[in-house]
Chains A and B, each alone.
Chain A
Amino acid sequence: MSFLRSADVGYRRFLMTDRILDIQNLKTYFHTQEGVIRAVDGVYLSVRRRKALGIVGESGCGKSITSLSVLQVIPSPGRIVDGRVLFYPEAESDRPVDLAQLKRHGRELRRIRGKDISLVFQEPMVALSPVYTVGNQIIEALRLHEPHSKRRARELAVEMLDKVGIPNPDVMVDRYTFELSGGMRQRALIAMALVCGPKLLIADEPTTAIDVTIQAQILDLIRSLQTDMDMSVMLITHDLGVIAEMVDDIVVMYLGKVVESGSLHDIFDRASHPYTVALQRSIPRFQRRGQPLEVIRGNVPDPYTRPQGCEFAERCPKAMNRCFQDKPAMAEVGDRHSAKCFLFTDEVESAPGREANVR
């Protein structure tokens, strides 16, 4: 009995501490002339070491801004206004670095960026320069962090381009990005992100422009780096097929907040939040050609206004009266599985004033 209990405690500690990244109450806002856009509005999530976390959710719900906030590469006028981004580079026993506290253009953050944590941007053309060849950009990324000779760096760049499925890498290394097809640019970007062997890879829609056979190859590469080099992954994609193949844990976001989180199986087999359920129903399936697809009624509200009650209430098939008045708290619906919905709790989300006091 006591053995069981201590094993249980050990397991819990393992879950609690075996994290590489722990985001707490992150808020990233855009102050614009027309008003404040609460792109990320109190996000909690963590990435377990050597595991992959998937982030899914409707376009505009804040997935990219969450991932860009980790390294503070948010487009202006975006700014982190609250919260913590705790990074545990080596082990559980380490003191974490709060990335949100580091200076945006400071040395510390620059050292982490690309080496410890690397980012695959959603839009390859934003991240790639049109005036340098693909190879020069990868070589530069490499030499920024490690003292390789030019020749060695070039070899490594060619090797990496080959691994991400770029044909004839020793020729392509000298091409400019505008000479590449959409999918090849995306692969060049992935090569650049992986070449320094990061501890944490943040990949935002890394394979949307890539066909399925090459996609399978890249996903295999990421998986093998996870086991061989202890890499952890934060993966953003709206392809639930890719999610099903790649990740261990999932968070579902809606309007700047996490509305459900759990293991891969929790979300696929025991989806709890009505939004998660609706999301799964809208995937096209084979053999139903030409028929209308199920959609979630209504649209995401415009970014300047936020509903008083639950963010999803307007569009929710299960909405009750109180959903329009109060915001539900995150409630446990299973072991490490939680959902933010009044179907599972009576509690309301803690008032914004109190959350602000945390810091």
Chain B
Amino acid sequence: MSDNVRQPMLELINLRKYFPVKKGFFRRHVADVKAVDGVSFSLYEGETFGLVGESGCGKTTLIKNIVGALRPTSGQILFTDAGGQTHDIARADRERIEAIRRDIQMIFQDPFSSLNPRMTVQDIIGEPLLVNEGKGRRASRARVAELMELVGLNPELLRRYPHAFSGGQRQRIGIARALALDPKLLLADEPTSALDVSVQAQILNLFMRLQRELNLSYIFISHDLTVVQHISDRAAVMYVGHIVETAETERLYVSPKHPYTEALLSAVPYPHPDVKKKKVVLKGGAADPQLLPAGCPFHPRCPYVEALCSTRFPSLEEVTESQQHWSACHYADSLSLRGLDTLEESAGS
């Protein structure tokens, strides 16, 4: 390999996480929920990777595997630390995971229930310092104040309890806490879904600024496709445990190569009453990772379904039209799908 090939900081190879389904008095193992079923992707330093997809498609499960909170059924999670050493989180022991966890932090959707109401802001933000470095209140005070400043909180408020803060401020507290140990990678699971648009704008700006200042990498999960396109360099669309499409963000949104991506883009509600977008209405209900059909997992709901789709599983392959754009559709090259541009034009606004 030549030198100018960048080394990914995180590489997932064929990751699987199955949950056993047990039934009856003896809790017999009757089936598996294939929550994550063969996911591979790479993430580079300083990059934001957006993850979207149907509820229940395995996004949270995926990132919980990356922080070591869940152990994968199979596959590799290769993480390269600041010293250039590569570890497989999938096989790491507890101790190693604890060490890697300093570099990889998670931020949750809910700024309300994820903060302990009985702890002051100082203790919440300082907790990782106490647990990992044995630093008590006094020893960590300066660092906590610095972190509060970094995320735009007034350090004078450090003795307050979380309930005295608004949703956006609480999310800042969560971010400050996640930054306490100087991580390299933040996994954000719907970090702005509980926030109103004006606070969401502040938090997104904060994410972008911190990335510039600290050279952080993000995996960013959101149901809001506008948010994901705003913040991500590359994005992936998941459908029942699989990545069905991934590309550089703008490409993905402007010229999608998977019918599910097209349907998602068309369903984004437009923030003006006069713009009525042409929605691609999907047949049937959401997919169930416990009862997957043969062939392409999306075929029962796909508006472009062909005979082949119900028999052969489509693997994720690079489309011919452009490099680094991957789709798991047998007809990715021949379908002409509508991206965001055309969807909004057809709305006639």
Interface residues of A (CB under 8 A from B): 34, 56-60, 123, 125, 162, 165-168, 171, 179-184, 186-187, 205, 208-216, 238-245, 264-265, 268, 278-280, 282-286, 288-290, 292-296, 299-300, 302-304
Contact = CB atoms under 8 A, between A and B. Distances in A.
16 contacts: A59-B199, A168-B290, A186-B55, A209-B109, A238-B197, A240-B271, A241-B268, A244-B270, A279-B196, A283-B197, A284-B229, A286-B253, A295-B201, A295-B202, A300-B166, A302-B165
A208 B205 contact: no
A238 B196 contact: yes
Contact of A215 (B53, B204, B267, B340): B267
Contacts of A285: 226
Interface of B: 19, 52-57, 60, 109-110, 112-113, 164-169, 190, 193-202, 204-205, 208, 223-227, 229-231, 249-250, 253, 263-264, 267-273, 275, 279, 281-282, 285-288, 290-291, 340, 344
B279 A216 contact: yes
A238 B195 contact: yes
A40 B263 CA distance: 40
Contact of B286 (A165, A241, A299): A165
Contacts of B269: 212, 215-216, 239, 241-242, 244-245
A181 B289 CA distance: 12
B273 A58 contact: no
Contacts of B285: 162, 165-167
Contact of B223 (A123, A165, A210, A268): A210
Contacts of A279: 196-198
A242 B57 CA distance: 22
Given A211-B223, A284-B226, A289-B249, A240 B169 contact: no
B230 A58 contact: no
Contacts of B267: 212-213, 215-216
A299 B57 CA distance: 36
Contacts of B253: 286
Nearest to B202: A295
A136 B119 CA distance: 36
Contacts of A289: 229-231, 249-250
Contact of A183 (B56, B226, B231, B291): B56
Nearest to A267: B273
A168 B291 contact: yes
A58 B198 contact: yes
Given A212-B223, A214-B54, A292-B205, A268 B273 contact: yes
B287 A167 contact: yes
A219 to B, nearest CB: 8
Contacts of B288: 167-168, 171
Given A165-B285, A167-B286, A183-B223, 11 more contacts: A59-B168, A187-B55, A210-B55, A210-B223, A216-B269, A264-B273, A284-B226, A285-B226, A286-B226, A286-B344, A293-B230
Given A213-B282, A238-B196, A264-B273, A283 B226 contact: yes
B337 to A, nearest CB: 15
B162 to A, nearest CB: 12
Contact of A299 (B166, B208, B229, B282): B166
A306 to B, nearest CB: 14
Contact of B230 (A183, A186, A290, A294): A290
A181 B199 contact: no
Nearest to A285: B226
A51 B287 CA distance: 32
Contacts of B168: 59, 299
B264 A244 contact: no
A212 B225 contact: yes
A268 B272 contact: yes
Given A214-B286, A216-B267, A290-B208, A209 B202 contact: no
Nearest to B230: A284
B31 to A, nearest CB: 10
Contacts of B52: 211
A213 B190 contact: no
Contact of A125 (B56, B113, B290): B113
A284 B60 contact: no
Nearest to A167: B288
A215 B166 CA distance: 26
A58 B195 CA distance: 8
A148 B337 CA distance: 48
Nearest to A174: B23
Contacts of A168: 288, 290-291
Contacts of A304: 164
Max chain B CB contacts within 10 Å: which of A57, A179, A284?
A284
Contacts of A295: 198, 201-202, 205
A268 B199 CA distance: 19
Contacts of A186: 55
Q: Which of A180, A186, A214 has the most CB of B within 10 A?
A: A214
A33 B205 CA distance: 35
B201 to A, nearest CB: 4
A178 B87 CA distance: 31
A253 to B, nearest CB: 10
Given A244-B270, A264-B273, A208 B226 contact: no
Contact of B201 (A34, A56, A284): A284
